[in-house]
């Protein structure tokens, strides 16, 4: 399912127009992104938790030349599914 299909499904389920649903979805994505940029955790009950984790700098290898490459430290987004979501998927 892509974003367009998600908007169509949510609009049908909620009885809203696709345009209104798209605005709501985009606003939710923007709010989640802004919270993660600030280093905050976003918990959606029954769905899961979005947060960021710091990755330390490390040395990697170019698979073609086997040359060592310095990979800088970075902050990455992560998602952990809730128990309820995992249970629904396992059915």
CATH superfamily placement of domain 41-91: IHF-like DNA-binding proteins (4.10.520.10)
Quickly count: other Cβ atoms within 10 Å of residue 52's Cβ.
Answer: 16
Cα–Cα distance, 40 to 63 (Å, whole number): 36
Contacts of 79 (CB under 8 A, 6+ apart): 48, 49, 50
Cα–Cα distance, 53 to 42 (Å, whole number): 13
Q: What are the beta bridge partners of residue 74?
A: 55
Identify the pLDDT of residue 27. 98
For the chain, the domains span 1-34, 41-91
Q: What is the pTM of this model?
A: 0.83
CB contact at 8 A, 31 and 38: no
Q: What is the pLDDT along the chain (91 residues), one digit of tens a residue?
A: 999 999 999 999 999 999 999 999 999 999 999 999 999 999 999 999 999 999 999 999 999 999 999 999 999 999 999 999 999 999 8
């Amino acid at each position: 399912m892509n974003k367009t299909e998600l908007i169509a499904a949510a609009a049908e389920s909620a009885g809203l127009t696709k345009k209104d649903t798209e605005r709501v979805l985009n606003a939710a994505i923007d709010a989640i992104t802004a919270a993660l940029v600030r280093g905050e955790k976003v918990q959606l009950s029954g769905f899961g938790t979005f947060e960021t984790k710091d990755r330390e700098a490390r040395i990697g290898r170019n698979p073609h030349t086997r040359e060592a490459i310095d990979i800088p430290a970075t902050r990455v987004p992560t998602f952990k599914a809730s128990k309820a979501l995992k249970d629904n998927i396992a059915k």
